[in-house]
């Protein structure tokens, strides 16, 4: 396969831009394909949310080196919102990468030139073909020497249905359900209404806290927090024991609003059906309980979109939908965000040579991904693609023990899935676990 073809990076989010920066530093041609209209389009959708991690943990080393000659100065402290992360780092990095980044370029499929997934002969010698669909224009095809998929999981949130499938009637009720943390600065949309939050991760905690503030001001505003698990368990996080103070404080505040009666907690509520009653959604649990609301906020985590990779030979864990070699290291039944091991090119390799999943997508359905872990992934993968195998196999990341963001105790004795994520985009501004070494974005 000729080296004149570029490496194609799918996604211009934090990990995709970092991968491009490392490739530029190594003089490897790169094209970044972003479905959105600007850099970090997924982050922009939760731009009002504040991260748990401080600035130094949100900036990739290669990105900083590329920006330094422009006069850019790295922020040194504080917890940015998603919008600030874009404005002060991600957008300047994308601008410096210039026309290597192509926006409005949705990837519709990835394969090998002249080879579907059944063909062995000469497969590894053929370039990748990437089919690209602009929103306004004709589909075209690129060739690539390697592909790094950093497209994340933001576009594919998990449904409200407790069995992993949309609940019966969930699609028909879509207008009354949201799968993102709303911008609660628009108070009129929630004031005087009953809102149900489904999920047990930090995203759900953030939404519950913001709604509790509204309920404190207006007694006509009511909030119900729905957990699939049989008891609250570790839903309130690690409190003072959490090494991410902002995240620990989130759980403490959530417990306080529960104790103050501002939020009603329902446990063991596993949604089977959503029925519309006089324009309002009613959630019906597997045990027959029902709950009628004005709005439902579904924050049950995310999953990878593998549909456009159907012609590639991937080795994925059957449970997590993550690369098989890293699954045991990221399993949320065992590991927390801080105890997962750093993963590099050897761990992320597939039977399809020169193809890598990185970032939140590499963790499949596991909620233990962290941004610094993703930066280490792309550093290693780019080193491997550049032929620097020693650098690819080095581990240049030391993760702190971040306490109880997942790991043992994530599931209760009934086996009920928590339905949330420790590190996915979860109020002043709400807060999000995606930076410390996300998930995910």
pLDDT digits (tens, 9 = 90+) for 371-385: 889 999 999 999 999
Among the residue ranges 130-144, 147-161, 171-185, 242-256, the one predicted with the least confidence is: 242-256
Say which residues have a Cβ less than 8 Å from residue 113's Cβ, sequence separation at least 6. 126, 127, 128, 129, 143
pLDDT at 339 over 90: no
The 3 state secondary structure assigned to 223-262 is: EEEECCCCCCCCCCCCHHHCCCHHHHHHHHHHHHHHHCCC
Write out the two tokens for 40.
């970090």
**Interhelix angle for 202-217 vs 245-259, to 10°?**
50
What proportion of the chain, given as a percentage, has pLDDT over 90?
A: 67
The candidate with the shortest Cα–Cα distance to 131, out of 113, 151, 153, is 113
Average pLDDT, the chain: 85
Nearest to 423 by CA among 376, 356, 373: 373
> Which of residues 49 and 133 earns the better pLDDT score?
133
Residues 424, 302: contact at Cβ < 8 Å? yes
Query: Do residues 8 and 130 lie in contact, with contact meaning Cβ atoms separated by under 8 Å?
Result: yes
Q: Cα 431 from chain centroid?
A: 14
The average pLDDT across 316-328 equals: 93
Q: 37 falls in which pLDDT band (50, 70, 90)?
A: very high
- Answer whether residue 425 shows pLDDT above 60: no
Domain locations in the chain as residue ranges? 7-155+302-393, 174-300
CA nearest 201: which of 259, 166, 163, 250? 250
What confidence score (pLDDT) does residue 258 get?
85
Reduced 3-state DSSP string for the chain: CCCCCCEEEECCCHHHHHHHHHHHHCCCCEEEECCCCCCCHHHHHCCCCEECCCHHHCCCHHHHHHHHHHCCCCCCCCCCEHHHHHHHHHHHHHHHHHHHEECCCEEEEEEECCECCCCCCCHHHCCEEEEEECCCCCCEEEEECEEEECCCCCCCECCCCCCCCCCECCCCCHHHEECCCCCCCCHHHCCCCEEEEECCCHHHHHHHHHHHHHHHHCCCCEEEEECCCCCCCCCCCCHHHCCCHHHHHHHHHHHHHHHCCCCEEECCCCEEEEEEECCEEEEEECCCCEEECCEEEECCCECCCCHHHCCCCCCECCCCCCEHHHHHHHCCCCCCCCCCCCCCHHHHCCCCCCEEECHHHHHCCCCCCCHHHHHHHHHHHHHHHCCCHHHHHCCCCCCCCCCCCCCCCCCCCCCCCCCCCCCCCCCCCCEECCCCCCCCC
pLDDT at 411 over 80: no
What is the rounded distance in angstroms from the CA atom of residue 302 to the CA atom of residue 360?
A: 9
User: Look-up: residue for tokens 């032929």?
Assistant: 387
Quick: pLDDT tens for 260-305: 999 999 999 999 999 999 999 999 999 999 999 999 999 999 999 9
pLDDT at 246: 53
Architecture of the domain made up of 174-300: 3-Layer(bba) Sandwich (3.50)
Round to whole Å and give the CA distance between 415 and 105.
41
Q: Is 90 exceeded by the pLDDT of residue 157?
A: yes
- CA distances, 14 to each of 60, 315, 412 (Å): 8, 25, 33
- Highest mean pLDDT pick, 142-151, 367-376, 390-399: 142-151
Ranges 340-344, 377-381, 411-415: which has the least confidence: 411-415
pLDDT, mean of residues 15-27:
98
For residue 35, pLDDT over 60 is answered with yes
| Cα angle value 229/232/236 (rounded, 5°) | 125
Surface-to-core class of residue 365, CB atoms within 10 Å of its CB (0-12 exposed, 13-18 middle, 19+ buried): buried
pLDDT surpasses 50 at 432:
no
More confident residue, 423 or 30: 30
pLDDT at 399: 58
Does 237 have pLDDT greater than 50?
yes
Alpha carbon separation from 359 to 349, 390, 404, 408 (Å, rounded):
14, 22, 21, 23
Over residues 320-327, mean pLDDT: 93
Between CA 3 and CA 209 the distance in angstroms is 52
Residue 413 pLDDT: 24
Do β-strands 146-149 and 177-178 pair in parallel, antiparallel, or remain unpaired? unpaired
* 174-300 and 7-155+302-393 share a CATH fold: yes
| Domain 7-155+302-393 in this protein, CATH class | alpha beta
Residues for the chain: how many in total?
441
Mean pLDDT of 176-181: 94
pLDDT band at 334 (very low <50, low <70, confident <90, very high): low
């Amino acid at each position: 396969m000729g080296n004149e073809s570029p490496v194609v990076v799918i996604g211009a989010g934090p990990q995709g831009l970092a991968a491009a920066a490392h490739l530029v530093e190594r003089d490897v041609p790169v094209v970044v394909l972003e479905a959105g209209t600007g850099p970090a389009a997924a982050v922009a959708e939760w731009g009002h949310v504040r991260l748990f991690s401080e600035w130094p943990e949100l900036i990739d080393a290669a990105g900083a080196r590329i920006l330094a000659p422009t006069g850019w100065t790295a922020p040194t402290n504080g917890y940015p919102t998603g919008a600030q992360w874009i404005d002060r780092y991600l957008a300047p990095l994308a601008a410096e990468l210039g026309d290597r980044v192509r926006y409005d370029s949705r990837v519709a499929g990835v394969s090998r030139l002249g080879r579907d997934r059944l063909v062995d002969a000469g497969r590894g010698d053929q370039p990748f073909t990437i089919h690209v669909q602009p929103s306004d224009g004709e589909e075209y095809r690129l060739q690539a020497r390697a592909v790094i998929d950093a497209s994340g999981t933001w576009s594919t949130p998990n449904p409200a249905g407790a069995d992993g499938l949309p609940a019966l009637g969930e699609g028909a009720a879509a207008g009354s359900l949201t799968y993102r943390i709303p911008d609660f600065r628009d108070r009129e949309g929630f004031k005087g209404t009953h809102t149900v939050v489904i999920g047990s991760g930090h995203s759900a905690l953030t939404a519950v806290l913001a709604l509790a503030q509204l309920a404190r001001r207006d007694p006509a505003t009511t909030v119900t927090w729905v957990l699939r698990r049989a008891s609250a368990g570790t839903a309130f996080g690690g409190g003072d024991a959490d090494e991410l103070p902002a995240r620990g404080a989130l759980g403490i505040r959530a417990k306080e609003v529960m104790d103050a009666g501002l939020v009603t907690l329902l446990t063991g509520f596993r949604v089977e059906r959503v029925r519309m009653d006089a324009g309002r959604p009613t959630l019906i649990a597997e045990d027959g309980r029902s709950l009628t609301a004005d709005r439902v906020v579904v924050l049950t985590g995310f999953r990878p979109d593998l549909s456009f990779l159907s012609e590639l030979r991937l080795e994925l864990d059957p449970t997590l939908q993550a690369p098989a070699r890293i699954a045991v290291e990221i399993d949320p039944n065992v590991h927390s965000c801080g105890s997962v091991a750093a993963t590099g090119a050897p761990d992320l390799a597939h039977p399809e040579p020169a193809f890598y999943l990185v970032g939140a997508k590499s963790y499949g359905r596991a909620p233990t991904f962290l941004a610094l872990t993703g930066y280490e992934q792309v550093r290693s993968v780019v080193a491997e693609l550049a032929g620097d195998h020693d650098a690819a196999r080095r581990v240049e990341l030391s993760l702190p023990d971040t306490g109880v963001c997942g790991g043992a105790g994530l599931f209760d004795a009934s086996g009920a899935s928590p339905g949330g994520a420790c590190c996915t985009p979860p109020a002043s501004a709400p807060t999000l676990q995606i930076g410390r070494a996300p998930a995910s974005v």
